[in-house]
Amino acid sequence: MRRPALYSSASPAKARKPALPDEAEQALAAADGPPRLQNPTYLARLTRYFSPGNPNLLWSVIALLALLLAVSFALALRPAQRQLTQDDINAAVLKTLETTTLPSAATRAYDAVSPSVVRVVSFSKDKDGQDSERGVGTGVVIVDKGIILTNLHVVQGADSIRVTFADGLESSASITGVQIENDLAVLQAQKIPDDLIAATMRSTVDLATGDQVVAVGYPFGIGPSASAGIVSGLKRVFRSPDGAQPVRNLIQFDAAANPGNSGGPLVNMDGEVLGIVTAIYNPNQQRTFVGIGFAVPIENAATAAGMPPF
């Protein structure tokens, strides 16, 4: 077994005084008797060495002057560093934009919200007492302790609910609140990821027809999937084909949505949640998207979780 290196704790040796040239050193070594500065022989030899006629001293001075001249010449030739201007910075930015492919606005929106999107599956007991899948929907985390918004129709009447987070963690969940008039339910997950991220919510006060939006969810259980579109209208009213009470003050949008998108977030280009996807218009029985979807504004959805409006 190798031992780690050991380091001495002794103080470093005292620095030696610089040696004099050989001839001077010989002069010092040859001196005997009284202290060197009082020794006539020593003084005579030292004086002879530093005499202007000594060729060794002359060459030493020449070498020193040559070194100083070379250093001065090198410093004089070094180009001065040019200070960056705003034009230089603008040119560098333009060059980067020309040579780099930036992600689309929809990609940035999806990347911002996707860590907060969950898959919601509801189960009921079959005749043998086994869990049987009733349906798949979507939810979005609005508080990082595992509070999730989804549609009431996704989980209503379920014997059990299971959610899957963006990192793959699965957990059972329970309903902690409902808002029947807006088809909303609030879930609490029993287990959550250590680094769970809650989505950012954005007021719809300044939302306008034509604004770009992205819907994120699990259409037909496939996902997470994203679709992009625009706000087609505001303050819409929708009544489901089964004759339930109408849902009012809805955001109409044309980003593709299908069964399974229910409960998912409708976000702006910053990935901020504007509403919860709640329904699609189906003039036929095929349950496919025909270009009209509806979302509950986040102001209404937040109140379902007991959160103050904007």
Q: How far apart are CA 250 and CA 182, in angstroms?
A: 9
Which of 116, 122, 171, 183 is flagged as catalytic? 183
Domain boundaries, the chain: 22-71, 111-304
Amino acid, res. 153: H
CA dihedral in degrees (206, 210, 211, 212; nearest 10)? 160
Let me know if 153 is a catalytic residue: yes
| Mean pLDDT, the chain, integer | 82
Q: How confident is the model at residue 170 (pLDDT cuts 50, 70, 90)?
A: very high
Question: What pLDDT does 50 receive?
Answer: 56
- Is residue 50 exposed (0-12), middle (13-18) or buried (19+ Cβ within 10 Å)? exposed
Cα(30)–Cα(39) distance, rounded to whole angstroms?
11
pTM for this one?
A: 0.69
CA–CA gap between residue 281 and residue 240 (Å, rounded): 8
Q: Is 262 a catalytic residue?
A: yes
Comparing CA positions, the residue from 150, 154, 162 lying closest to residue 265 is 150
pLDDT score, position 227? 97
Sequence-distant (6+) residues with CB within 8 A of 193 are 165, 166, 167, 169
**Helix (H/G/I), strand (E/B), else coil: 240:** coil
pLDDT for 11 equals 45
Q: Residue 129: its pLDDT value, please?
A: 84
Choose the catalytic residue: 122, 171, 227, 262: 262
pLDDT of 275 reads 96
Nearest to 118 by CA among 168, 174, 165, 159: 165
188-242 per-position pLDDT tens digit: 999 999 999 999 999 999 999 999 999 999 999 998 999 999 999 999 998 876 6
Q: Give 35-93 pLDDT, tens digit per residue.
A: 555 556 655 565 655 566 666 666 676 777 777 777 676 666 666 677 888 888 888 88
Candidate list 114, 116, 153, 171, residue with the active-site label: 153
For the chain, the first-to-last Cα distance in angstroms comes to 67
CATH 3.40.50.10070 applies to domain 111-304: no
Neighbours of 262 (CB within 10 A): 27
Rg (C-alpha) for the chain, rounded Å, is 41
Do the Cβ atoms of 237 and 250 come closer than 8 Å?
Answer: yes
Residue 18 has pLDDT above 60, yes or no: no
- Which of residues 305 and 242 earns the better pLDDT score? 305
* pLDDT at 160 exceeding the cut of 90: yes
| Residue type at 87 in one-letter notation | D
Q: Is 132 a catalytic residue?
A: no
